[in-house]
Structure 1
Amino acid sequence: MKPATARRLPDAAVVRRPARVRLLWLLVAALVLAALMVASVAFGSRNVGWSDIWAAIGGADESLEQAAVGKRIPRTVLAVLIGAALGLAGAVMQGVTRNPLADPGILGVNMGASLAVVTAVAFFGLSSPTGYIWVAMAGAGLSAVFVYGVGTLGRGGATPLKLALSGAATSAAFASLVTAVVLPRNDIAGSFRLWQIGGVGGASYERIGHVLPFLATGFVICLLSAKALNSLALGEELAAGLGERVAVARGVAALGAVVLCGSATAVAGPIGFVGLVVPHACRLLVGVDHRWLLPFAALLGAALLTAADVVGRVVARPAEIDVGIVTALIGAPFFVWIVRSQKVRAL
């Protein structure tokens, strides 16, 4: 018979993946992402041929097709960056909290960033793109601290279900506050209504340039936290016995996740469920070692958001469905399944 502890752990936690299998999955994920990026440039309300794609890459915009490609390229790049940021942030949040329900949207982090940006624009006249990002990161950080503080109240501390419930309640409250702030302001209501859904439409190289330094910083912090997250997965006492400064490790990793969430939300709006779905899929493929899990989560997150953007453009053309709606349609049933499974106890 298997030990009781082994029976309670998910299969991904007890089966060790050989390095060659992990490398193979990373290669597959990279190839899938590359194919989706090509599809994102080629498909939309107007399909384009290879000649137009190559001409547009070279800077030509002499036809409608070439102009369409010129707009899709920065949109594709932004979808890749935002998807990678949300997938990586979700994996880090789940590692920091040891909570399989952790996700920037479910824990209220995205909505906290949204509320901070809306409040700053409506009451303080914020207009700087870089200012949006700083304010969004501050809102995301404060929301994460608040949700975790509420989740620790009562017996048992911050259990996965308590964190999910406190995050859901906080998200609902913040969403109501966002609506209350935006509705009386006709001058900003239209643009913020679209932004609140979450999407990568209207992307430009200028917007990417503003957010790229923040995303790069978040990527570096999170990836460098992989070893510490492996120690934290063993439990606080054992991690401390191995020489890990638990509070510092958690704080640094959480900071990286907050930077990624805040930056992504400032540019693309509060896109949900990417950070929930992606880490679980990654654990099934490459296991629980964060040195492999984190880069794989970034690749798979980029692929998921790019695919969702392509689907949203194709199924409703000549109109389009915002990527935040597509990810919600994918992630909501997955969230219900996770809640109903035994994995909800802890990672």
Structure 2
Amino acid sequence: MNLQIALLLGQDGLTNGAIYALLALALVLVFAVTRVIFIPQGEFVAFGALTLASLQAGKLPGTIWLLLALGTLIAAIEGSLAMRRRQFRRIPVILLVNCGVPLLLAGGLAAISAATLPLPVQVLLALLLVVPLGPMIYRLAYQPVAEASVLVLLIVSVAVHVTLIGIGLLFFGAEGSRTPSFTDVSFEIGDTLLQGQTLLVVVASVVLIIVLYLFFERTLYGKALRATAMNRTGARLMGISGTLAGMLSFTLAASIGAFSGILISPITTIYYDSGFLIGLKGFVGAIIGGLASYPVAAAGAILVGLLESYSSFWASAFKEVIVFTLIIPVLLWRSLKARHVEEE
């Protein structure tokens, strides 16, 4: 390995690590607020990328039908609860939010070819189709068992993950998709060529991390999420709704996942099940941070990206094994250091 190869591998490692860092932050956020180990995080990566690819191909993305189905189911549940409580004024709002908005999106996409729209509009449409799935999945799968043990929530996560993979295969097929590059600009730094797409991924990831930091530090909802993460019981006593915190955390996680998928869609071919492996590497970074520390989780995810990149050069057949083996000494060290406390 010479210096040029080392720099190229480092560039790839930082690019992958930036995406893993975003996913690690989302996993830490969801676990801290809801105690859910959000295994389906990777599916939002795949859905974001494949939805954008479908829009650019002039097809109606399958995620719109999932959005309609989940919205209809939630409208039926919430409408039934509103009728039992005699809150009849809420029913039109429930129908408009859960059924009207998805129908409006479906009608707009059916009337206008998304392939002719500018790239920023296509990205926005892809986010509008994928991000609402996060709070919808929380409402249907996690909210009814929000007070259950971590093990029960993990089992629910596995079920949601398997279901979403099957839905992804149904909607997008077994063939992979890759979107055109967002930019063809490149820079020469010595003997190394720095791709503009790589730089865009890293810069966008850093900007999103800064936005998340400002959200948690400067906004009321961000502080409410931090309070819920630190002490759920205390947050409830202060009037912070656990349901609202869960909805918000899943919305942020879905946003981060879908945005990450859109960022990497021009770099790698995405299949319906590609998100699981990507999300799992973000989970390794989250474990390094103890599912509690955002900075350590982000640093661990970047380490995972660099380790994956350099191990692909030295032992490409075992790069996945090397990456996931990293979690063993971390878990061993944490198990020896941490004091075991029975969950109440």
State the TM-score, normalizing by the size of structure 1. 0.55
Match of 2:298 in 1: 298
Q: Secondary structure at the match of 2:261?
A: helix
The structural deviation recorded for 1:91 is: 0.9
Q: Are the equivalent residues in 1 in contact too, given 2:17–2:302 (CA < 8 A)?
A: yes
Paired position in structure 2 for 1:76? 13
Q: Any unmatched runs of 5+ in structure 2?
A: 61-113, 180-192, 218-222, 265-269, 332-339
Partner of 2:142 in structure 1?
152
Q: Contact between 1:214 and 1:259, CA under 8 Å: does it hold in 2?
A: no
Structure 1 window deviating more from structure 2 (264-273 vs 117-126): it is 117-126
SS at match of 1:283: coil
Find the counterpart in structure 2 of residue 120 from structure 1.
Answer: 55
Match of 2:165 in 1: 175
Aligned CA distance change for structure 1 residues 273 and 140 (closer, same or farther; 3 Å): farther
Corresponding residue SS for 2:41 = coil
- What CA distance in whole angstroms lies between the structure 1 residues aligned with 2:206 and 2:251? 12
Q: Which amino acid aligns with 2:161?
A: S
The residue aligned with 1:60 is none
Pick closer, same or farther for the CA change 1:176–1:87 going to 2, 3 Å. same
Kindly state the Cα deviation for residue 142 of structure 1 after the two structures are TM-superposed.
3.0
Give the deviation of 1:260 after TM superposition. Answer: 2.4
The 8 Å contact of residues 55 and 115 in structure 2, kept in 1 or not, is answered as: yes
State whether residues 113 and 262 of structure 1, in contact with CA within 8 Å, keep that contact through their aligned partners in structure 2. yes
CA contact 2:22–2:205 (8 Å) conserved in 1: no
User: For the structure 1 residues 163 and 148, does the alpha-carbon distance in structure 2 shift closer, same or farther, using more than 3 Å as the test?
Assistant: farther
Residue 93 of structure 1 is matched in structure 2 by 30
Summarize the Cα distance change of 1:71–1:234 in structure 2 as closer, same or farther, 3 Å threshold: closer
Match of 1:260 in 2: 256
Check 1:182–1:103 CA distance in 2 against 1; reply closer, same or farther (3 A cut). closer
Asked whether 1:221 is paired with 2:200, we answer: no
Q: 1:205 to 1:214 in 2, by over 3 A?
A: same
Look up the match of 2:234: 238
Superposed CA RMSD in Å reads 4.5
Contact 2:13 2:305 in 1 (8 A): no
How much does 1:229 deviate? 4.2
- 1:290-340 Cα offsets, whole Å, 9 max, x none, are xxx111211111111221222233213xxx7787x87577779x99xxxxx
1:315 equivalent in alignment to 2:315: yes
For the 8 Å contact 2:49–2:262, the answer to whether it is kept is yes
Higher relative contact order (Cα pairs below 8 Å, separated by 6+ residues):
2
Q: Is the CA contact (8 Å cut-off) linking 1:312 and 1:322 kept in structure 2? A: yes
Structure 2 Cα separation of the partners of residues 81 and 211 of structure 1: 6
Offset at 1:136? 5.1
8 Å CA contact 2:14–2:202 kept in 1: the answer is no
Q: 1:277 aligns with which of 281, 284, 300?
A: 284
Distance 1:147 1:326 in 2: 33
Q: Structure 1 residues 297, 135: closer, same or farther in 2, change over 3 A?
A: farther
Which amino acid letter does the alignment assign opposite residue 281 of structure 1?
A: I
Question: CA–CA distance in 2 between the matches of 1:203 and 1:121?
Answer: 26
Mapped partners of 2:232, 2:7: distance in 1: 50
**Aligned counterparts of 1:321 and 1:131: Cα–Cα separation in 2:** 40
Distance change (3 Å), C-alpha of 1:119 and 1:149:
farther
Evaluate the alpha carbon distance shift between residue 160 and residue 266 of structure 1 in structure 2; reply closer, same or farther with a 3 A threshold.
farther
TM-score normalised by structure 2 residue count: 0.55
Aligned partners of 2:342, 2:53: CA distance in 1, in Å? Answer: 35
Q: Does 1:105 align with 2:41?
A: yes
> 8 Å contact 1:160–1:345 — kept in the other structure?
no
Q: Distance in 2 between matches of 1:146 and 1:328?
A: 31
Shift of residue 86, structure 1, vs aligned partner: 1.6
Answer yes or no: is the 8 Å Cα contact 1:278–1:300 preserved in 2: yes
Partner of 1:10: none
| Distance in 2 (alpha carbons) for counterparts of 1:220 and 1:89 | 13
**Distance in 2 between residues matched to 1:298 and 1:280, nearest whole Å:** 10
Structure-2 separation of matches of 1:277 and 1:87: 8
Aligned to 1:62: none
The one-character-per-residue Cα deviations of 1:170-226 (angstroms, maximum 9, x if unpaired) are: 333333343344448xxxx45459xxxxxxxx9932354267346523542256427
The separation in 1 between residues aligned to 2:52 and 2:322, in whole angstroms, is 24
Residue aligned with 1:225, SS:
helix
- Identity of matched residues, %: 16
